[in-house]
Amino acid sequence: MRQSQLISDQKLIDIFKKVLASLWEKEQNVISRRIWLVWKKETLQSIWNSFSPHITRERVRQIEDSWIKKMWRIIRATDLTIIQDKAREVVTLHSWLITRDKLINTIIKDLNLKSTINSWVLEIIIQADYNIDKSKPKLWMRTYFSAPNIWRKEVTAIHNELLKILKKKWDVMEKEVIYNMVKDSLINNIKWLNIVLIDSVVDIFEDMVKWEDSLVWLATWKILNPKTLKDKAYYVLKKERIPLHFVDISNKITEYLWDKVKVNTIHNELIRNNEFILIWRWIYALKEWWFTPWTIINVICDILTKNKDPMSTEDIIKEVLKIRNVKKTTIYMNLQNKKVIERVWRNFYKLKEFNK
């Protein structure tokens, strides 16, 4: 349930502009340009180029950060303190570590702000708080906020342990399982380590993916963003973790990936790719699951069982080819299996046990 709205969107922006106006003109200029307050959000590069002489992007970032921290005392004397208080509350609930986007979205939701509000303004208000640190930009990492007691080396250690486990397993893992493995491994080195903190680390690093808040895998694995029909079928079976009828696989592709596929097309894809095996009538599993394949003789026996009456060679071949993409000679050779198949007259067969 949402809290009642304690500050309106417009009031928030108006107060922030007054806080910004209390800074020196140069400070106002840089911060305004960084948060799209006046015209558009500018990069550190463009701001760097506007200085004469030029200063480095890192120096712009350092100046920006120091000026933002300068706003802290002014903000604490205004209604904007509700943003900082809520931010501290949310960061604490996430074990002192949370991505920038998740924190901003939670604040917008909890304070009943409009989704169209300038999120960069909220970010500056949070960044001004001495009780919360903002991460430095780094490749393959999302921007995050944390409590000052969270050290970067600890975040890196958790990430490295997650990578080690996933690469050793080389498969999708249950979140609960891998998180407990990381906790058992690092608890002596990181005393306040818990499941929530590990989950936040996964959110931060772009080389890891969570699915429906229950599974974890590496972003480089093909199940992250399946492009081909084969990969989409693989994705569905990996997610469901049970063999499925090819019609169900087709429906799940539409449900999970919003991609409508023809049932016959997905069936043909499953037949011709070695990653999948037929384990029962139109039921497919991943080859890596070590199921026993449903052989041609199994297919023939199932067809004859359902038909009950003897069937001609042509009819048997026709029915088998609906299920398996094999040569007609292969089907004919399997019909010569006298242990289970009996020829009753020319080119007509039935199961041997029917004569008992």
Tens of pLDDT along 237-253? 887 878 999 999 999 98
State whether 30 and 138 are in the same domain.
yes
State whether 59 and 162 are in the same domain.
no
State whether 15 and 133 are in the same domain.
yes
Determine, yes or no, domain membership for 147.
Answer: no
pLDDT, mean of residues 151-177:
87
Determine, yes or no, domain membership for 1.
Answer: no
Determine, yes or no, domain membership for 330.
Answer: yes
Determine, yes or no, domain membership for 4.
Answer: no
- The pLDDT of residue 313 is 92
Q: Is the pLDDT of residue 45 over 60?
A: no
State whether 191 and 214 are in the same domain.
yes
Buried b (16+ CB within 10 A) or exposed e, 76-115: eebebebbbebbbebbeebbbbbbbebbbebbbeebebee
Q: Is the pLDDT of residue 26 over 90?
A: no
Local confidence band at 47 (pLDDT 50, 70, 90 cut-offs): low
Local confidence band at 291 (pLDDT 50, 70, 90 cut-offs): confident
For residue 122, the number of C-alpha atoms closer than 13 Å in the C-beta half-sphere is 28
- What percent of the chain has a predicted confidence (pLDDT) above 90? 15
State whether 17 and 137 are in the same domain.
yes
State whether 114 and 45 are in the same domain.
yes
State whether 250 and 273 are in the same domain.
yes
Q: Is 233 helix (H, G, I), strand (E, B) or coil?
A: helix
Determine, yes or no, domain membership for 2.
Answer: no
The rounded distance, in Å, linking the Cα atoms of 69 and 114 is: 26
Lowest mean pLDDT, pick from 147-156, 160-169, 244-253? 147-156
pLDDT, mean of residues 298-322:
88
State whether 138 and 22 are in the same domain.
yes
The residue among 269, 289, 309 that closes a domain is 289
The residue among 82, 107, 142 that closes a domain is 142
Side by side, the strands of the sheet bearing 311-312 are 311-312, 348-351, 341-345
Determine, yes or no, domain membership for 181.
Answer: yes
- What percent of the chain has a predicted confidence (pLDDT) above 70? 83
| Residue of 275 and 41 predicted with greater confidence | 275
Sign of the CA dihedral with 38 first, then 18, 22, and 102 last: negative
The residue among 266, 289, 312 that closes a domain is 289
Determine, yes or no, domain membership for 54.
Answer: yes
State whether 301 and 279 are in the same domain.
no
Q: Is 71 helix (H, G, I), strand (E, B) or coil?
A: coil
CATH number at residue 333: 1.10.10
Structure tokens at 277: 């095996």
Number of domains in the chain: 4
State whether 130 and 68 are in the same domain.
yes
Residue 17's domain spans which residues?
9-142
Local confidence band at 2 (pLDDT 50, 70, 90 cut-offs): very low
Determine, yes or no, domain membership for 223.
Answer: no
The rounded distance, in Å, linking the Cα atoms of 270 and 292 is: 16
- The pLDDT of residue 1 is 36
Whether a cis peptide bond, with omega within 30° of 0, leads into 53 is: yes
pLDDT, mean of residues 75-103:
89
Per-residue pLDDT tens digits for 181-239: 999 999 888 878 889 999 999 989 988 888 666 788 787 775 556 778 888 888 888 87
State whether 90 and 187 are in the same domain.
no
The rounded distance, in Å, linking the Cα atoms of 143 and 154 is: 16
Structure tokens at 207: 């080389």
State whether 124 and 167 are in the same domain.
no
